[in-house]
Amino acid sequence: MTRWLTDQASSATIRTTPVDRLLAITRQSLRLPGARFCDWSHMGKLSAKRSGDAAIAGKIAFLLASLLFPLLAQATTPKNKASQAVQRGCGSGVVLKISAGVAAQGSLLLAEVRGLVDAQKVKAEWDGRPVPLWQETQQSARVLHGMIGVDLEKAPGSYDWKISWTAADGSPATCGVPITVRSGKFATEKLTVEKQYVQPDSEQQKRAEEDQKKMRAIFDTVTPEVLWNGKFRLPLKGDVAGRNFGRRRVLNGEARSPHTGIDFPAAAGTPVYAAQAGKVALAENLYYSGNTVVLDHGFGIYTLYAHLSEIGVRAGATVAASAEIGKVGATGRVTGPHLHWGLTIDHARVNGLQIVQKQP
């Protein structure tokens, strides 16, 4: 049981991973035109033109990168001073806590409010957008929880996380904590390709726009319930490494949309599991993302699974945590089989690994 407290709901230290850098170097030395998985930046035709040699070279590059990743990751992981939690006393025993006072673009922040005994009309917001709070009923003291997603393109700066309430004596009260957003360190890939390969035709463009409209309608809907139960998990079993989150691509000098999810390399047919319990908001074929499943976990939290070879669920169905929802494939605008996994929190595109690592 959870309590709905506000009207509606609201992005990991992101850095260029050693794998990204190694792949870039390998690609350069093999003269590959950006051999990589998701080609959502109107690159469908280019990817279809990849030669067999390029595909093999891509596989070698990936294998090399996978082997070297643990070594490189250890050597290059920066000391993260920014991840210090911030706590603020607001008087009358009310305490606000945020998991980090400084957060990179693409991060997830955990918020907590304690001591709001007998308070009414409790509302939370971040940068003017409502942040829904829920209460764990098994706790004796009233502790409210919330999740804040920092979109991967949110302008760096300081944004207040604010709580307002009406105290037991009827007086209004507010309290806030500033959260500094800093730029995420994302890989940037610069490519020069012939124009015909980067312009989708009008039919393709129309389809992509319709898909986008559909997705917007889904993310605009905030289910006022916590549908998840426990920790979020990775969508693939075993020891998997995701990459490409937030990667920027510049085509012919023109910046394209960033890569909004994580790509997990996996063989076609590998089962894909629900990161947590939820309701199927979408289960269909889309132009860029191919066979796609979107799960609504409640409170504005959605996970997306793209490029599936098979979809195993229907829109509207309820799924349990770790239920199989489809299989890894290469549908949509991609260069090879993999799972593209996205996390959205109140429209903010967040690194999904964060919800797996940070959620208590």
Q: Give the list of residues 6+ apart from residue 316 with CB closer than 8 angstroms, or none.
A: 279, 280
Residue whose Cβ sits closest to Zn ion: 38
Least distance in Å: CB of 1 to Zn ion? 36
38, 46, 98, 294: which one contacts Zn ion (CB under 5 A)? 38
348 DSSP β-pair partners: 345
Least distance in Å: CB of 247 to Zn ion? 9
Q: Does 333 bind Zn ion (CB under 5 A)?
A: no
Q: Does 283 bind Zn ion (CB under 5 A)?
A: no
Of 32-40, 62-70, 104-112, 163-171, the window that binds Zn ion (rule: CB under 5 A) is 32-40
Least distance in Å: CB of 39 to Zn ion? 9
263, 308, 321, 336: which one contacts Zn ion (CB under 5 A)? 263
Instruction: State how beta strands 290-298 and 301-308 pair.
Output: antiparallel
Count of residues that interact with Zn ion, criterion CB under 5 A: 3
Least distance in Å: CB of 304 to Zn ion? 10
Q: Does 358 bind Zn ion (CB under 5 A)?
A: no
Q: Does 39 bind Zn ion (CB under 5 A)?
A: no
Q: Does 247 bind Zn ion (CB under 5 A)?
A: no
Output the CA torsion sign for 274, 5, 355, 58. positive
Q: Does 286 bind Zn ion (CB under 5 A)?
A: no
Task: Evaluate whether 338 touches 307 at the Cβ level (below 8 Å).
Answer: yes
Q: Does 266 bind Zn ion (CB under 5 A)?
A: no
Residue 41 or 135: which CB sits closer to Zn ion? 41
Nearest to 260 by CA among 242, 276, 235: 242
Distance CA 50, CA 39 (A): 12
Of 21-29, 109-117, 146-154, 338-346, the window that binds Zn ion (rule: CB under 5 A) is 338-346
Instruction: State how beta strands 248-251 and 188-191 pair.
Output: parallel
50, 154, 340, 349: which one contacts Zn ion (CB under 5 A)? 340
Distance CA 65, CA 60 (A): 8
Q: Element (H or E) spanning 64, and its range?
A: helix 52-76
Q: What is the CA radius of gyration of the chain?
A: 21
Instruction: State how beta strands 102-104 and 172-182 pair.
Output: parallel
Least distance in Å: CB of 38 to Zn ion? 3
Residue type present at position 85: A
- Footprint of Zn ion on this chain (CB under 5 A)? 38, 263, 340
